[in-house]
């Protein structure tokens, strides 16, 4: 069994992969100050002598986990972007490219093998839109994450303690919560759709548009042009595990 690990800026996800199938999925939110919580999250996997495959955008957390794996003499691999260089445009700074962004593209290769042009919208701590044309990763944009954008506002407003960002048909609100709800959902929708239209016009392409990440599901709820892939990063890690290791 292989433990697939996706280390983001504020959360860590893991999924057990056995005989090509995903088993249990788990995640934790974390802070860099509480490293013991991270180690505890993997303690059972350590004891079971599993093998591990890591995709990370946080080097210090990667080092923490691999240090513990080495201490226990466990097998592990970390995504090597150089293995994937042939599918990355030579203008892209591969050293600065987050491993998760190219791994997300790998997650599409099996299910969408006949499609060559993608926009991948990933709603994480930051929201990223990545561009793939003719099966080559060209780059993308990084936007403030939806929760990150509104977190300080929500925390500072005493009447919004239970506010939740979610799908809405409201165009505007007649109270503070609904005004914030319509503003957050519709404002973010317009921003994402604006980028999509700009890319389609600039490249003169009709892209296959794939959405992933926590808040992604609410933006695909009533959409006929956006497809949601919950396990996209894990699918990419599975593809990497089967084809590059």
Closest residue by Cα to residue 243 from 70, 84, 123: 84
Q: Which of 6, 29, 45, 100 is catalytic?
A: 100
DSSP line for 19-48:
TTEEEEEEEEE--TT-HHHHHHHHHHHHHT
CB burial of residue 82 (10 Å; 0-12, 13-18, 19+)? exposed
CB neighbours of residue 216 within 10 Å: 22
The alpha carbon of 175 is separated from its chain's Cα centroid by a whole number of angstroms, namely 33
| Residue 100 known to be catalytic | yes
Handedness of CA 96, 132, 141, 179 (dihedral sign): negative
As annotated, the active-site residues are 100
């Amino acid at each position: 069994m292989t433990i697939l690990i996706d280390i983001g800026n504020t959360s860590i996800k893991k999924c057990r992969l056995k005989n090509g199938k995903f088993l249990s999925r788990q995640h934790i939110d974390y802070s860099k100050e509480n490293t013991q919580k991270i180690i505890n999250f993997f303690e059972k996997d350590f004891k079971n002598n599993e093998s591990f495959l890591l995709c990370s955008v946080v080097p210090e957390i990667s080092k923490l986990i691999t240090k513990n794996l080495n201490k226990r003499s466990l097998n592990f691999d970390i995504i090597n972007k150089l293995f994937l260089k042939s599918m990355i445009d030579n203008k892209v700074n591969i050293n600065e490219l987050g491993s998760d962004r190219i791994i997300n593209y790998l997650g599409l290769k099996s299910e969408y093998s006949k499609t060559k042009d993608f926009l991948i919208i990933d709603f994480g701590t930051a929201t990223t839109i990545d561009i793939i044309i003719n099966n080559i990763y060209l780059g993308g944009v990084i936007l403030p994450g939806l929760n990150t954008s509104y977190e300080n506002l929500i925390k500072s407003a005493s009447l919004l303690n239970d506010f939740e960002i979610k799908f809405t048909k409201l165009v505007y609100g007649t109270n503070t919560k609904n005004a914030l709800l319509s503003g957050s959902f519709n404002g973010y929708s317009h921003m994402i759709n604006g980028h999509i239209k700009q890319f389609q016009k600039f490249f003169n392409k009709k892209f296959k548009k794939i959405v992933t990440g926590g808040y992604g599901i609410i933006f695909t709820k009533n959409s006929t042009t956006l497809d949601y892939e919950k396990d996209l990063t894990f699918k990419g890690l599975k593809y990497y595990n089967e084809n590059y290791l």
